[in-house]
Amino acid sequence: MQKNLTFNTVTYNQVKIYIMNIKYAHTNIITKDWKELARFYEIVFNCIAVPPIRKYQGEWLEKGTGVFGANLQGVQLRLPGYGDNGPTLEIYQYSEMINAERQLANQKGFGHIAFKVEDIAGVLAIALKNGASKIGELSEHHFDNIGVFRFIYISDPDGNIIELLNWS
């Protein structure tokens, strides 16, 4: 006998049908110089700009973001490995910015984005040459019946945390 889990008054089977219509679209990074940060992701991770350059402002943007006088511009970058219809990385810049403390790996909220790469040392060298900083050191761990996991945390030029990883 199948037992349905309930979430308030909705059964699990109803929730499953709803979830099938969800598709991950993008991750957004807000920066002080969208062109510079987009260039970093293009060079280091082979992201590809998806035209046109976005320039947004108006009541609709203020209403949706909750930012009075919202005015932003930037670009969407196609992430590697997903083809033309995959998720994107949005690199945007608001005309008025709020400065905040540097993000930490164990801070509440979004922690990091991750890129699976074949050559961690090679990508790390390119990233460092283009303004990234090391947060941790290259580390590896053997998981029984799975393989060897290697990773390192770095930050992009704006301090956003990136994990470089691979499995063997």
10 Å Cβ neighbour count for 32?
12
User: What pLDDT, in 10s, does the model give residues 82-123?
Assistant: 999 899 999 999 998 887 776 666 776 778 999 999 999 999
pLDDT, residue 9, reads 55
Q: Would you identify the CATH topology of the domain 23-97?
A: 2,3-Dihydroxybiphenyl 1,2-Dioxygenase; domain 1 (3.10.180)
User: What pLDDT, in 10s, does the model give residues 131-164?
Assistant: 999 999 999 999 999 999 999 999 999 999 999 9
3-class DSSP state for residue 11?
strand
DSSP letter for each residue of the chain = -----EETTEEHHHHHHHHTT----EEEEE-S-HHHHHHHHHHHH--EEEEEEEEEESHHHHHHH--TT-EEEEEEEEPTTSGGGS-EEEEEEESS----PPP-TTSSS---EEEE-S-HHHHHHHHHHTT-EESS--EEEEETTTEEEEEEEEE-TT--EEEEEEE-
Confidence of residue 65 (pLDDT cuts 50, 70, 90): confident
Confidence of residue 15 (pLDDT cuts 50, 70, 90): low
Distance CA 38, CA 98 (A): 20
CATH H superfamily, domain 111-168: 2,3-Dihydroxybiphenyl 1,2-Dioxygenase, domain 1 (3.10.180.10)
| Closest by Cα among 67, 33, 61, 62 to 156 | 33
* Residue 6 in this model has a pLDDT that exceeds 90: no
The residues, any chain, with a CB within 8 Å of residue 84's CB and separated by 6 or more, are: 78
pLDDT, residue 106, reads 72
77 or 98, which is more confident = 77
pLDDT, residue 110, reads 79
| Average pLDDT in the chain | 88
For residue 86 the two structure tokens come to: 């995959």
Looking at beta carbons, which pairs linking 12-18 to residues 24 or more positions away fall under 8 Å? none
Extents of the domains making up the chain: 23-97, 111-168
pLDDT, residue 121, reads 96
* Residue 3 in this model has a pLDDT that exceeds 80: no
9 or 108, which is more confident = 108
139 or 6, which is more confident = 139
3-class DSSP state for residue 39?
helix
